[in-house]
Chains A and B, each alone.
Chain A
Amino acid sequence: MEAVNPLILIDEIEFSYPNNTFALRNISLKVNKGELISIMGQNGAGKTTLIRTLNGLIRPSTGSIYIKGEKIDSKSVAELSKIVGIIFQNPMHQLFSNTIEEELKFSMKNLDLSKEEIKQKIDVILNKFNLEKYRDRSPFNLSGGEAKKLAIASIICRDPEIIIFDEPTLGQDAKEIDFFLELIHNEIEKGKTIVMVTHNIEFTFENIPRIILMANGKIIADGPTEKVLTNEFLVKKSSLILPQIQQFKQGLKEIGIKVPNEIFKLNDMIMFLNNYLKIKLSKE
Protein backbone atom coordinates (compact mmCIF):
# COMPACT_ATOMS: atom_id res chain seq x y z
CA MET A 1 0.00 0.00 0.00
CA GLU A 2 1.36 3.38 -0.93
CA ALA A 3 2.20 5.61 1.99
CA VAL A 4 -0.32 8.40 2.33
CA ASN A 5 0.76 11.89 3.25
CA PRO A 6 1.84 11.75 6.86
CA LEU A 7 -0.67 13.06 9.37
CA ILE A 8 2.05 14.98 11.17
CA LEU A 9 5.19 16.23 9.46
CA ILE A 10 7.83 18.07 11.43
CA ASP A 11 10.51 19.60 9.27
CA GLU A 12 13.75 20.71 10.90
CA ILE A 13 12.35 22.74 13.72
CA GLU A 14 14.37 24.51 16.36
CA PHE A 15 13.39 26.22 19.56
CA SER A 16 15.16 27.75 22.51
CA TYR A 17 13.80 29.27 25.69
CA PRO A 18 14.46 32.93 26.66
CA ASN A 19 17.24 31.87 29.00
CA ASN A 20 19.04 30.60 25.91
CA THR A 21 18.95 26.88 26.48
CA PHE A 22 18.33 24.96 23.28
CA ALA A 23 15.23 22.90 23.85
CA LEU A 24 14.82 21.55 20.32
CA ARG A 25 17.56 21.21 17.76
CA ASN A 26 16.92 20.30 14.17
CA ILE A 27 13.99 18.01 14.85
CA SER A 28 12.35 16.20 11.94
CA LEU A 29 9.83 13.41 12.08
CA LYS A 30 6.77 11.93 10.41
CA VAL A 31 3.73 10.37 12.02
CA ASN A 32 1.14 8.44 10.05
CA LYS A 33 -2.52 8.16 10.90
CA GLY A 34 -3.28 5.37 13.35
CA GLU A 35 0.18 5.13 14.87
CA LEU A 36 0.90 4.55 18.56
CA ILE A 37 4.14 6.17 19.67
CA SER A 38 6.14 6.73 22.88
CA ILE A 39 8.54 9.61 23.26
CA MET A 40 11.21 8.87 25.84
CA GLY A 41 14.41 10.43 27.04
CA GLN A 42 16.12 12.15 29.91
CA ASN A 43 14.32 14.87 31.82
CA GLY A 44 15.12 18.08 30.01
CA ALA A 45 15.74 16.32 26.70
CA GLY A 46 12.94 18.29 25.06
CA LYS A 47 10.05 15.80 25.10
CA THR A 48 7.40 18.08 26.56
CA THR A 49 8.66 20.99 24.48
CA LEU A 50 8.23 18.88 21.36
CA ILE A 51 4.62 17.95 22.05
CA ARG A 52 3.75 21.54 22.79
CA THR A 53 4.75 22.50 19.26
CA LEU A 54 1.99 20.30 17.91
CA ASN A 55 -0.89 22.41 19.19
CA GLY A 56 0.79 25.76 18.90
CA LEU A 57 1.59 26.35 22.56
CA ILE A 58 5.16 26.62 21.44
CA ARG A 59 6.11 28.04 18.05
CA PRO A 60 9.46 26.91 16.68
CA SER A 61 11.89 29.63 15.65
CA THR A 62 12.86 27.85 12.43
CA GLY A 63 11.39 25.04 10.37
CA SER A 64 7.78 24.07 9.76
CA ILE A 65 5.14 21.75 11.09
CA TYR A 66 2.40 20.31 8.90
CA ILE A 67 -0.70 18.64 10.25
CA LYS A 68 -3.03 16.97 7.74
CA GLY A 69 -0.94 18.50 4.99
CA GLU A 70 -1.38 22.11 6.17
CA LYS A 71 1.20 24.35 7.77
CA ILE A 72 0.19 25.17 11.31
CA ASP A 73 2.09 28.35 12.03
CA SER A 74 -0.81 30.60 11.14
CA LYS A 75 -3.36 28.61 13.14
CA SER A 76 -4.30 29.53 16.68
CA VAL A 77 -3.98 27.19 19.64
CA ALA A 78 -7.77 27.10 19.90
CA GLU A 79 -8.04 25.89 16.30
CA LEU A 80 -5.21 23.38 16.57
CA SER A 81 -6.50 21.92 19.83
CA LYS A 82 -9.56 20.72 17.92
CA ILE A 83 -7.30 18.36 16.02
CA VAL A 84 -4.55 17.82 18.57
CA GLY A 85 -5.61 17.12 22.15
CA ILE A 86 -2.89 17.19 24.79
CA ILE A 87 -3.55 15.74 28.24
CA PHE A 88 -1.01 17.14 30.63
CA GLN A 89 0.40 15.51 33.71
CA ASN A 90 -1.46 17.28 36.46
CA PRO A 91 -5.26 17.07 36.32
CA MET A 92 -5.49 19.71 39.04
CA HIS A 93 -4.30 22.24 36.49
CA GLN A 94 -7.67 22.02 34.75
CA LEU A 95 -10.39 21.57 37.33
CA PHE A 96 -12.39 24.61 38.23
CA SER A 97 -16.10 23.97 37.66
CA ASN A 98 -18.84 23.19 40.13
CA THR A 99 -19.64 19.76 38.79
CA ILE A 100 -18.02 17.19 36.54
CA GLU A 101 -20.75 17.72 34.01
CA GLU A 102 -19.89 21.43 33.82
CA GLU A 103 -16.22 20.60 33.52
CA LEU A 104 -17.00 18.55 30.41
CA LYS A 105 -19.34 21.23 29.05
CA PHE A 106 -16.49 23.72 29.32
CA SER A 107 -14.24 21.42 27.33
CA MET A 108 -16.68 21.39 24.45
CA LYS A 109 -17.44 25.09 24.46
CA ASN A 110 -15.62 26.21 21.35
CA LEU A 111 -16.60 23.21 19.24
CA ASP A 112 -19.80 24.70 17.78
CA LEU A 113 -21.99 21.83 18.89
CA SER A 114 -25.69 22.03 19.67
CA LYS A 115 -26.91 21.58 23.23
CA GLU A 116 -28.30 18.14 22.44
CA GLU A 117 -25.06 17.01 20.87
CA ILE A 118 -23.12 18.14 23.92
CA LYS A 119 -25.50 16.39 26.27
CA GLN A 120 -25.22 13.20 24.27
CA LYS A 121 -21.45 13.29 24.24
CA ILE A 122 -21.35 13.87 27.99
CA ASP A 123 -23.57 10.84 28.61
CA VAL A 124 -21.38 8.64 26.44
CA ILE A 125 -18.13 9.85 27.94
CA LEU A 126 -19.25 9.58 31.57
CA ASN A 127 -20.29 6.03 30.90
CA LYS A 128 -17.11 5.11 29.10
CA PHE A 129 -14.93 6.40 31.95
CA ASN A 130 -17.12 5.05 34.72
CA LEU A 131 -17.70 8.53 36.06
CA GLU A 132 -21.52 8.63 35.72
CA LYS A 133 -21.98 8.36 39.46
CA TYR A 134 -19.97 11.53 39.94
CA ARG A 135 -21.85 13.56 37.33
CA ASP A 136 -23.17 16.17 39.75
CA ARG A 137 -20.30 16.04 42.19
CA SER A 138 -17.56 18.57 42.52
CA PRO A 139 -14.41 17.65 40.59
CA PHE A 140 -12.43 18.49 43.70
CA ASN A 141 -13.92 15.53 45.51
CA LEU A 142 -12.44 13.04 43.11
CA SER A 143 -9.53 10.84 44.03
CA GLY A 144 -6.24 11.24 42.16
CA GLY A 145 -6.96 8.40 39.76
CA GLU A 146 -10.46 9.61 38.97
CA ALA A 147 -9.27 13.17 38.46
CA LYS A 148 -6.79 11.84 35.93
CA LYS A 149 -9.64 10.01 34.17
CA LEU A 150 -11.63 13.24 34.08
CA ALA A 151 -8.70 15.06 32.55
CA ILE A 152 -8.48 12.44 29.83
CA ALA A 153 -12.26 12.45 29.35
CA SER A 154 -12.32 16.20 28.91
CA ILE A 155 -9.98 15.95 25.93
CA ILE A 156 -11.46 12.80 24.41
CA CYS A 157 -14.96 14.25 24.41
CA ARG A 158 -13.60 16.85 21.98
CA ASP A 159 -12.81 13.99 19.59
CA PRO A 160 -9.38 15.16 18.46
CA GLU A 161 -7.73 13.09 15.73
CA ILE A 162 -4.40 13.17 17.49
CA ILE A 163 -4.26 12.46 21.22
CA ILE A 164 -1.11 13.24 23.16
CA PHE A 165 -0.46 12.14 26.75
CA ASP A 166 2.15 13.59 29.10
CA GLU A 167 3.20 10.86 31.58
CA PRO A 168 -0.09 8.96 31.61
CA THR A 169 1.00 6.09 33.88
CA LEU A 170 2.67 8.15 36.60
CA GLY A 171 1.46 7.21 40.06
CA GLN A 172 -1.04 4.69 38.69
CA ASP A 173 -1.58 1.18 40.02
CA ALA A 174 -2.13 -1.95 37.90
CA LYS A 175 -5.87 -1.61 37.37
CA GLU A 176 -5.57 2.06 36.40
CA ILE A 177 -2.84 1.20 33.91
CA ASP A 178 -5.05 -1.58 32.49
CA PHE A 179 -7.88 0.89 32.03
CA PHE A 180 -5.51 3.26 30.25
CA LEU A 181 -4.28 0.52 27.95
CA GLU A 182 -7.83 -0.45 27.03
CA LEU A 183 -8.65 3.17 26.38
CA ILE A 184 -5.80 3.74 23.96
CA HIS A 185 -6.56 0.51 22.09
CA ASN A 186 -10.17 1.65 21.71
CA GLU A 187 -9.11 4.99 20.35
CA ILE A 188 -6.64 3.46 17.91
CA GLU A 189 -9.43 1.20 16.66
CA LYS A 190 -11.51 4.31 16.04
CA GLY A 191 -8.73 5.57 13.80
CA LYS A 192 -7.03 7.99 16.18
CA THR A 193 -3.33 8.60 16.39
CA ILE A 194 -1.73 8.47 19.83
CA VAL A 195 1.56 9.84 21.13
CA MET A 196 2.74 9.65 24.73
CA VAL A 197 5.64 11.12 26.65
CA THR A 198 6.62 8.63 29.29
CA HIS A 199 9.32 7.24 31.59
CA ASN A 200 7.63 3.88 31.81
CA ILE A 201 9.97 1.52 30.02
CA GLU A 202 8.06 -1.66 30.83
CA PHE A 203 4.74 -0.30 29.63
CA THR A 204 6.26 1.01 26.41
CA PHE A 205 8.15 -2.20 25.75
CA GLU A 206 5.01 -4.29 26.14
CA ASN A 207 2.48 -2.11 24.40
CA ILE A 208 3.86 0.60 22.16
CA PRO A 209 5.16 -0.33 18.71
CA ARG A 210 7.20 2.77 17.91
CA ILE A 211 9.49 4.83 20.09
CA ILE A 212 11.24 8.15 19.63
CA LEU A 213 14.25 8.69 21.88
CA MET A 214 15.43 12.19 22.65
CA ALA A 215 18.59 13.51 24.24
CA ASN A 216 19.74 17.13 24.54
CA GLY A 217 17.04 18.47 22.28
CA LYS A 218 17.76 16.02 19.46
CA ILE A 219 16.11 12.82 18.31
CA ILE A 220 18.69 10.08 18.75
CA ALA A 221 16.48 7.19 17.69
CA ASP A 222 13.16 6.67 15.99
CA GLY A 223 11.97 3.15 15.27
CA PRO A 224 10.44 -0.10 16.47
CA THR A 225 10.42 -0.40 20.23
CA GLU A 226 11.95 -3.85 20.34
CA LYS A 227 14.99 -2.61 18.43
CA VAL A 228 15.48 0.72 20.19
CA LEU A 229 14.92 -0.30 23.81
CA THR A 230 17.21 -3.32 23.46
CA ASN A 231 20.08 -1.17 22.24
CA GLU A 232 22.35 -0.68 25.24
CA PHE A 233 24.10 2.36 23.87
CA LEU A 234 20.87 4.24 23.16
CA VAL A 235 19.35 3.21 26.44
CA LYS A 236 22.33 4.50 28.39
CA LYS A 237 22.42 7.78 26.47
CA SER A 238 18.82 8.55 27.44
CA SER A 239 19.18 7.67 31.14
CA LEU A 240 16.95 4.64 30.76
CA ILE A 241 17.59 1.02 31.71
CA LEU A 242 17.03 -2.12 29.66
CA PRO A 243 13.57 -3.66 30.10
CA GLN A 244 13.48 -6.54 32.58
CA ILE A 245 12.56 -9.16 29.98
CA GLN A 246 15.45 -8.02 27.81
CA GLN A 247 17.90 -8.28 30.69
CA PHE A 248 16.47 -11.73 31.41
CA LYS A 249 16.93 -12.75 27.77
CA GLN A 250 20.58 -11.75 27.94
CA GLY A 251 21.02 -13.75 31.14
CA LEU A 252 19.39 -16.77 29.53
CA LYS A 253 21.80 -16.53 26.62
CA GLU A 254 24.70 -16.57 29.07
CA ILE A 255 23.52 -19.77 30.69
CA GLY A 256 22.99 -21.40 27.32
CA ILE A 257 19.30 -20.90 26.66
CA LYS A 258 18.89 -19.09 23.37
CA VAL A 259 15.67 -17.15 22.97
CA PRO A 260 14.58 -16.20 19.42
CA ASN A 261 14.83 -12.48 18.64
CA GLU A 262 11.15 -11.91 18.04
CA ILE A 263 10.30 -12.92 21.58
CA PHE A 264 10.45 -9.88 23.82
CA LYS A 265 7.00 -9.41 25.33
CA LEU A 266 5.92 -10.97 28.62
CA ASN A 267 3.29 -13.32 27.19
CA ASP A 268 5.57 -14.49 24.41
CA MET A 269 8.30 -15.21 26.94
CA ILE A 270 5.86 -17.16 29.09
CA MET A 271 4.89 -19.24 26.07
CA PHE A 272 8.53 -19.81 25.19
CA LEU A 273 9.45 -20.91 28.71
CA ASN A 274 6.40 -23.13 28.92
CA ASN A 275 7.43 -24.91 25.73
CA TYR A 276 11.07 -25.06 26.76
CA LEU A 277 10.36 -26.48 30.18
CA LYS A 278 7.75 -28.88 28.82
CA ILE A 279 10.41 -30.38 26.57
CA LYS A 280 13.08 -30.39 29.25
CA LEU A 281 10.82 -31.86 31.91
CA SER A 282 9.46 -34.57 29.62
CA LYS A 283 13.00 -35.71 28.97
CA GLU A 284 13.51 -36.37 32.66
Chain B
Amino acid sequence: MAFIRFNNFSFRYKGNDEYALENINLEIDENKFILLAGETGSGKTSLIRCMNGLIPQFYAGFYKGSVEIAGKNTIDTPISDLSTAIGIVFQNPENQLVAMNVEREIAFGMENLGIEPVEIKKRIREVVKITEIEEILDKAPFEISGGEKQRVAIASVLVLDPKIIILDEPTANLDPFFAKKILTMLKKIQETKKISIIISEHRMDLLVLLVDDIILIHNGKILAFDKKDIVINSEIFRNLNINKPKIYSLFRGLDKKNQVYDKIPISIEDALNVLKKYT
Protein backbone atom coordinates (compact mmCIF):
# COMPACT_ATOMS: atom_id res chain seq x y z
CA MET B 1 0.00 0.00 0.00
CA ALA B 2 1.28 3.43 -0.82
CA PHE B 3 2.62 5.37 2.14
CA ILE B 4 1.11 8.69 1.04
CA ARG B 5 -2.10 8.56 -0.89
CA PHE B 6 -4.06 11.47 -2.32
CA ASN B 7 -7.64 10.50 -3.20
CA ASN B 8 -9.05 13.03 -5.64
CA PHE B 9 -8.00 15.80 -3.28
CA SER B 10 -8.77 19.46 -3.95
CA PHE B 11 -8.12 22.45 -1.73
CA ARG B 12 -9.00 26.12 -1.81
CA TYR B 13 -7.48 28.52 0.77
CA LYS B 14 -10.00 30.52 2.74
CA GLY B 15 -10.71 33.80 1.00
CA ASN B 16 -9.49 32.59 -2.39
CA ASP B 17 -11.74 31.82 -5.31
CA GLU B 18 -9.24 29.66 -7.13
CA TYR B 19 -8.27 26.18 -6.13
CA ALA B 20 -4.67 25.85 -5.05
CA LEU B 21 -4.84 22.09 -5.65
CA GLU B 22 -7.28 20.31 -7.97
CA ASN B 23 -8.16 16.64 -8.15
CA ILE B 24 -4.86 15.38 -6.90
CA ASN B 25 -4.41 11.65 -7.25
CA LEU B 26 -1.00 10.55 -6.10
CA GLU B 27 0.52 7.48 -4.51
CA ILE B 28 3.97 7.80 -3.02
CA ASP B 29 5.89 4.79 -1.71
CA GLU B 30 8.87 4.49 0.60
CA ASN B 31 12.44 4.22 -0.58
CA LYS B 32 12.29 6.70 -3.42
CA PHE B 33 14.17 9.95 -4.08
CA ILE B 34 11.70 12.28 -5.73
CA LEU B 35 11.90 15.71 -7.37
CA LEU B 36 8.83 17.93 -7.19
CA ALA B 37 8.99 20.51 -9.98
CA GLY B 38 6.74 23.26 -11.22
CA GLU B 39 6.58 26.95 -11.99
CA THR B 40 6.29 29.41 -9.13
CA GLY B 41 2.72 29.45 -7.90
CA SER B 42 2.01 25.99 -9.32
CA GLY B 43 1.08 24.55 -5.93
CA LYS B 44 4.31 22.89 -4.82
CA THR B 45 4.26 24.33 -1.31
CA SER B 46 0.53 23.65 -0.95
CA LEU B 47 1.06 20.04 -1.99
CA ILE B 48 3.78 19.68 0.60
CA ARG B 49 1.54 21.09 3.33
CA CYS B 50 -1.02 18.38 2.62
CA MET B 51 1.43 15.66 3.41
CA ASN B 52 1.45 16.09 7.16
CA GLY B 53 -1.97 17.52 7.72
CA LEU B 54 -1.05 21.21 7.81
CA ILE B 55 -3.61 21.38 5.05
CA PRO B 56 -6.43 21.20 6.01
CA GLN B 57 -5.85 21.42 9.77
CA PHE B 58 -3.53 24.42 10.09
CA TYR B 59 -4.49 26.26 6.91
CA ALA B 60 -8.17 27.12 6.81
CA GLY B 61 -9.99 26.43 3.60
CA PHE B 62 -12.36 24.27 1.67
CA TYR B 63 -11.39 20.75 0.65
CA LYS B 64 -12.72 17.80 -1.30
CA GLY B 65 -11.49 14.23 -1.24
CA SER B 66 -8.92 12.90 1.22
CA VAL B 67 -5.26 12.35 1.92
CA GLU B 68 -3.98 9.29 3.79
CA ILE B 69 -0.62 8.86 5.46
CA ALA B 70 0.10 5.22 6.25
CA GLY B 71 -3.62 4.63 6.16
CA LYS B 72 -4.40 7.51 8.52
CA ASN B 73 -6.63 10.33 7.34
CA THR B 74 -4.98 13.78 7.43
CA ILE B 75 -8.26 15.43 8.24
CA ASP B 76 -8.76 14.07 11.72
CA THR B 77 -5.42 12.56 12.70
CA PRO B 78 -3.52 15.10 14.82
CA ILE B 79 -0.52 16.66 13.09
CA SER B 80 1.68 15.67 16.00
CA ASP B 81 0.81 12.06 15.20
CA LEU B 82 1.47 12.44 11.47
CA SER B 83 4.80 14.09 12.23
CA THR B 84 6.20 10.78 13.36
CA ALA B 85 5.69 9.45 9.86
CA ILE B 86 6.33 12.54 7.72
CA GLY B 87 9.02 15.13 8.35
CA ILE B 88 8.98 18.49 6.61
CA VAL B 89 11.91 20.90 6.29
CA PHE B 90 10.53 24.26 5.26
CA GLN B 91 12.00 26.91 3.06
CA ASN B 92 13.58 29.23 5.56
CA PRO B 93 15.63 27.39 8.20
CA GLU B 94 15.73 30.55 10.32
CA ASN B 95 12.05 30.17 11.15
CA GLN B 96 12.33 26.51 12.07
CA LEU B 97 15.00 26.74 14.69
CA VAL B 98 13.19 27.45 17.93
CA ALA B 99 15.74 26.58 20.58
CA MET B 100 18.67 28.62 21.81
CA ASN B 101 21.22 26.01 20.86
CA VAL B 102 21.64 23.22 18.34
CA GLU B 103 21.55 20.30 20.75
CA ARG B 104 18.30 21.43 22.32
CA GLU B 105 16.89 22.00 18.85
CA ILE B 106 17.43 18.40 17.90
CA ALA B 107 16.01 17.17 21.19
CA PHE B 108 12.90 19.33 20.86
CA GLY B 109 10.73 17.11 18.67
CA MET B 110 11.54 14.01 20.71
CA GLU B 111 10.73 15.82 23.96
CA ASN B 112 7.32 16.71 22.53
CA LEU B 113 6.68 13.07 21.80
CA GLY B 114 7.54 12.02 25.32
CA ILE B 115 10.60 10.00 24.34
CA GLU B 116 12.87 9.06 27.24
CA PRO B 117 16.06 11.13 27.67
CA VAL B 118 18.25 8.06 27.27
CA GLU B 119 16.72 7.33 23.88
CA ILE B 120 16.91 11.04 22.98
CA LYS B 121 20.64 11.06 23.69
CA LYS B 122 21.18 8.00 21.53
CA ARG B 123 19.27 9.38 18.58
CA ILE B 124 20.98 12.77 18.80
CA ARG B 125 24.36 11.12 18.59
CA GLU B 126 23.33 9.13 15.53
CA VAL B 127 21.77 11.99 13.63
CA VAL B 128 24.57 14.43 14.44
CA LYS B 129 27.04 12.04 12.83
CA ILE B 130 25.00 11.72 9.66
CA THR B 131 24.51 15.46 9.23
CA GLU B 132 28.06 16.32 10.35
CA ILE B 133 27.14 18.91 12.93
CA GLU B 134 29.22 17.69 15.88
CA GLU B 135 31.17 20.94 15.96
CA ILE B 136 28.21 23.24 16.44
CA LEU B 137 26.13 21.42 19.05
CA ASP B 138 26.44 24.19 21.62
CA LYS B 139 26.04 27.12 19.25
CA ALA B 140 23.04 29.44 19.08
CA PRO B 141 21.05 29.90 15.85
CA PHE B 142 22.53 33.33 15.17
CA GLU B 143 26.05 31.96 15.47
CA ILE B 144 25.82 29.47 12.62
CA SER B 145 25.84 29.87 8.84
CA GLY B 146 22.92 29.31 6.44
CA GLY B 147 24.25 25.92 5.37
CA GLU B 148 24.69 24.85 8.98
CA LYS B 149 21.16 26.02 9.84
CA GLN B 150 19.85 23.91 7.00
CA ARG B 151 21.69 20.85 8.28
CA VAL B 152 20.38 21.44 11.79
CA ALA B 153 16.83 21.72 10.47
CA ILE B 154 17.29 18.45 8.58
CA ALA B 155 18.78 16.77 11.65
CA SER B 156 15.95 17.90 13.90
CA VAL B 157 13.42 16.31 11.55
CA LEU B 158 15.47 13.21 10.73
CA VAL B 159 15.76 12.39 14.41
CA LEU B 160 12.03 11.70 14.62
CA ASP B 161 12.59 8.71 12.32
CA PRO B 162 10.06 9.59 9.65
CA LYS B 163 9.43 7.33 6.69
CA ILE B 164 9.27 10.27 4.31
CA ILE B 165 11.11 13.59 4.51
CA ILE B 166 9.97 16.50 2.39
CA LEU B 167 12.14 19.56 1.74
CA ASP B 168 10.87 22.80 0.27
CA GLU B 169 13.66 24.49 -1.75
CA PRO B 170 16.44 23.43 0.60
CA THR B 171 19.30 24.88 -1.41
CA ALA B 172 17.84 28.33 -1.98
CA ASN B 173 20.30 30.36 0.04
CA LEU B 174 23.27 28.06 -0.19
CA ASP B 175 26.52 28.38 -2.09
CA PRO B 176 26.53 25.95 -5.04
CA PHE B 177 29.29 23.89 -3.47
CA PHE B 178 27.37 23.43 -0.21
CA ALA B 179 24.13 22.88 -2.08
CA LYS B 180 25.75 19.92 -3.79
CA LYS B 181 27.02 18.63 -0.46
CA ILE B 182 23.59 18.74 1.15
CA LEU B 183 21.87 17.06 -1.77
CA THR B 184 24.48 14.32 -1.77
CA MET B 185 24.01 13.90 1.98
CA LEU B 186 20.26 13.60 1.51
CA LYS B 187 20.71 10.97 -1.19
CA LYS B 188 22.92 8.97 1.14
CA ILE B 189 20.33 9.19 3.93
CA GLN B 190 17.59 8.12 1.56
CA GLU B 191 19.51 5.06 0.41
CA THR B 192 20.82 3.99 3.82
CA LYS B 193 17.57 4.35 5.71
CA LYS B 194 15.39 3.29 2.79
CA ILE B 195 13.05 6.21 3.38
CA SER B 196 11.59 8.48 0.72
CA ILE B 197 12.80 12.00 0.26
CA ILE B 198 10.81 14.51 -1.78
CA ILE B 199 12.56 17.74 -2.76
CA SER B 200 10.88 20.74 -4.31
CA GLU B 201 13.43 22.74 -6.28
CA HIS B 202 13.84 25.28 -9.07
CA ARG B 203 17.49 24.59 -9.77
CA MET B 204 17.56 21.17 -11.29
CA ASP B 205 21.01 20.55 -12.66
CA LEU B 206 22.31 18.78 -9.57
CA LEU B 207 19.13 17.25 -8.30
CA VAL B 208 17.93 15.63 -11.48
CA LEU B 209 20.95 13.33 -11.44
CA LEU B 210 20.17 11.99 -7.97
CA VAL B 211 16.42 11.39 -8.10
CA ASP B 212 14.45 8.26 -9.05
CA ASP B 213 11.12 9.86 -9.88
CA ILE B 214 9.77 13.27 -10.84
CA ILE B 215 6.42 14.88 -10.01
CA LEU B 216 5.38 17.73 -12.31
CA ILE B 217 2.76 20.12 -11.00
CA HIS B 218 1.11 22.99 -12.87
CA ASN B 219 -1.77 25.26 -11.83
CA GLY B 220 -2.54 23.00 -8.90
CA LYS B 221 -2.81 19.85 -11.01
CA ILE B 222 -0.44 16.91 -11.27
CA LEU B 223 0.78 16.73 -14.85
CA ALA B 224 3.08 13.76 -14.42
CA PHE B 225 4.51 11.41 -11.83
CA ASP B 226 6.82 8.78 -13.15
CA LYS B 227 10.37 7.54 -13.38
CA LYS B 228 12.86 10.29 -14.13
CA ASP B 229 13.68 9.14 -17.67
CA ILE B 230 10.09 8.92 -18.71
CA VAL B 231 9.16 12.36 -17.41
CA ILE B 232 12.21 14.08 -18.86
CA ASN B 233 11.61 12.67 -22.31
CA SER B 234 7.94 13.69 -22.31
CA GLU B 235 6.35 16.55 -24.22
CA ILE B 236 4.84 17.79 -20.96
CA PHE B 237 8.28 18.37 -19.49
CA ARG B 238 9.45 20.07 -22.63
CA ASN B 239 6.59 22.53 -22.63
CA LEU B 240 6.69 23.44 -18.97
CA ASN B 241 8.30 26.80 -18.19
CA ILE B 242 10.60 25.47 -15.49
CA ASN B 243 14.36 25.68 -15.32
CA LYS B 244 15.64 22.69 -17.26
CA PRO B 245 18.98 20.93 -16.84
CA LYS B 246 21.60 22.53 -19.08
CA ILE B 247 22.53 19.28 -20.83
CA TYR B 248 18.85 18.68 -21.57
CA SER B 249 18.51 22.12 -23.17
CA LEU B 250 21.67 21.50 -25.13
CA PHE B 251 20.49 18.28 -26.72
CA ARG B 252 16.93 19.48 -27.18
CA GLY B 253 18.37 22.39 -29.13
CA LEU B 254 20.07 20.17 -31.69
CA ASP B 255 18.66 19.88 -35.18
CA LYS B 256 16.24 17.00 -35.60
CA LYS B 257 18.61 14.93 -37.67
CA ASN B 258 21.34 15.38 -35.07
CA GLN B 259 19.30 14.09 -32.17
CA VAL B 260 21.25 10.88 -31.98
CA TYR B 261 19.79 9.46 -28.83
CA ASP B 262 16.82 7.37 -27.73
CA LYS B 263 16.59 9.01 -24.38
CA ILE B 264 17.70 12.57 -23.95
CA PRO B 265 20.85 12.77 -21.81
CA ILE B 266 20.62 14.78 -18.60
CA SER B 267 23.98 14.15 -17.01
CA ILE B 268 27.31 15.01 -18.53
CA GLU B 269 28.18 11.32 -18.33
CA ASP B 270 25.10 10.36 -20.37
CA ALA B 271 25.91 13.06 -22.90
CA LEU B 272 29.48 11.87 -23.33
CA ASN B 273 28.32 8.28 -23.69
CA VAL B 274 26.04 9.29 -26.54
CA LEU B 275 28.74 11.28 -28.30
CA LYS B 276 31.50 8.69 -27.83
CA LYS B 277 30.15 6.87 -30.82
CA TYR B 278 30.84 9.89 -32.99
CA THR B 279 34.45 10.62 -32.21
Seen from chain A, the residues whose Cβ lies within 8 Å of a Cβ on chain B are 42-44, 143-145, 170-177, 199, 201-202, 236, 238-241, 243-245, 247-248, 251-252, 254-257, 266-267, 269-270, 273-274, 276-278, 280-281
Contacts and interface: CB of A to CB of B under 8 A. Distances in A.
The 4 A-B residue pairs with the shortest CB-CB distance, nearest first, are A244-B246, A239-B175, A239-B177, A270-B253
24 contacts: A43-B173, A43-B175, A143-B40, A171-B40, A174-B39, A174-B242, A199-B175, A239-B175, A240-B175, A241-B176, A244-B205, A244-B246, A245-B246, A245-B250, A248-B250, A251-B268, A251-B271, A252-B275, A256-B279, A270-B250, A274-B255, A277-B254, A277-B260, A281-B258
A255 B253 contact: no
A42 B272 CA distance: 31
B146 A173 contact: no
B275 A42 contact: no
Given A248-B246, A248-B250, A270-B250, 6 more contacts: A173-B242, A199-B175, A241-B180, A247-B268, A248-B271, A269-B250
A44 to B, nearest CB: 7
Size class of the B contact interface (CB-based, 8 Å): 35 or more
Main secondary structure on chain A at its contact with chain B?
helix
A145 B258 contact: no
B152 to A, nearest CB: 16
B8 interface: no
Contacts of A247: 268
Contact of B40 (A173, A266, A269): A173
B253 A173 contact: no
Given A239-B176, A277-B278, A174 B244 contact: yes
Nearest to A276: B278
A266 B249 contact: yes
B41 interface: yes
Nearest to B169: A171
B278 to A, nearest CB: 5
Most buried by A among B174, B175, B205: B175
B175 A273 contact: no
Nearest to B258: A277
Contacts of A238: 175
A166 to B, nearest CB: 12
B147 interface: yes
A236 B175 CA distance: 11
Contacts of A278: 255, 257-258
Contacts of B40: 143-145, 171-173, 176
Given A239-B177, A248-B268, A145 B41 contact: yes
A257 B275 contact: yes
Contacts of B176: 199, 201, 239-241
A43 B147 contact: yes
A202 B246 contact: yes
B205 A202 contact: yes
Interface in B188-242: 202, 205, 241-242
Contacts of A171: 40, 169, 172, 202
A241 to B, nearest CB: 5
B247 interface: yes
B2 to A, nearest CB: 29
A266 B250 contact: yes
Contacts of B249: 266
A138 B271 CA distance: 48
